[in-house]
Structure 1
């Protein structure tokens, strides 16, 4: 009987990050007074971005390569949001300092996940043996 191969690390990370974005988007949508947890600003555009990133993470987690590209692409989108909020005076997205740091942290985490979790596409067992024939 051959060992059962589950999801690879990039795919698991894409699921976790995607679920986080969905929760963040839903919380952003139902937040009262334009503030989430009294710290993060909310807006319709941010809600749509978070929900889109969440759905994309769950859909793209089906494939190793798609999950890896999701982590890189989502990290770059979060980095762009951080740069926009930090260095522009136009406030279309209604970003504050806490939201900017949230985007920075998400960008760093997603890019690190994409770089470090990739390893090899061949799943390995506890002793390093390949679980799939090559």
Structure 2
């Protein structure tokens, strides 16, 4: 017979979802900072504030602009703030994942040379957004699953 303490299970779940949200937030902050570092970001001198004309690429792969980097920084700050409670951390992961799935679809629909590509996004960004969106949603759901009490 296994005895489980529901209060302990809930506390452990809270810590897990909060740690996951905090880890994701720190990665966003790191990416936002790295986007402003020449060398880590190739073609740094071509970076524009916004728009598809920016040829700057984080790690030589992901197209970035000043706006794109700022969005990453803000997403990181929001994640740190929301990691303070389990419910907010869950919302950050699931809601943020949904936002990234919408951004993935937006990137697929909007042409890379279109003026609507104001973030800017390239194919590498699009597929990263798919993985990121699915991963964040999975983290939000899996770290807050309720386990059935065993009798």
Q: TM-score, normalised by structure 1?
A: 0.80
Aligned partner (choices 3, 21, 24) of residue 17 of structure 1: 24
Kindly name which structure, 1 or 2, has the bigger radius of gyration based on alpha carbons: 2
Q: Deviations over 1:20-60 (max 9, x none)?
A: 10001111122241011111111122112111110111111
Secondary structure of 2:35's counterpart equals helix
* 1:1-12 equivalence runs, <5 A: 8-12=15-19
Secondary structure of 2:144's counterpart equals coil
Aligned partner (choices 128, 131, 134) of residue 102 of structure 1: 128
- Alignment gaps of 5+ in structure 1: 123-127, 130-134
- Alignment gaps of 5+ in structure 2: 1-7, 44-55
Aligned partner (choices 104, 123, 126) of residue 82 of structure 1: 104
Aligned residues: 120
**CA–CA distance in 1 between the matches of 2:135 and 2:83?**
17
Would you identify which runs of 4 or more consecutive aligned residues in structure 1 move more than 2 Å? 29-32
| Equivalent position of 1:71 in the other structure | 93
Say yes or no: does 1:118 pair with 2:112.
no
Say yes or no: does 1:35 pair with 2:57.
yes
| Equivalent position of 1:55 in the other structure | 77
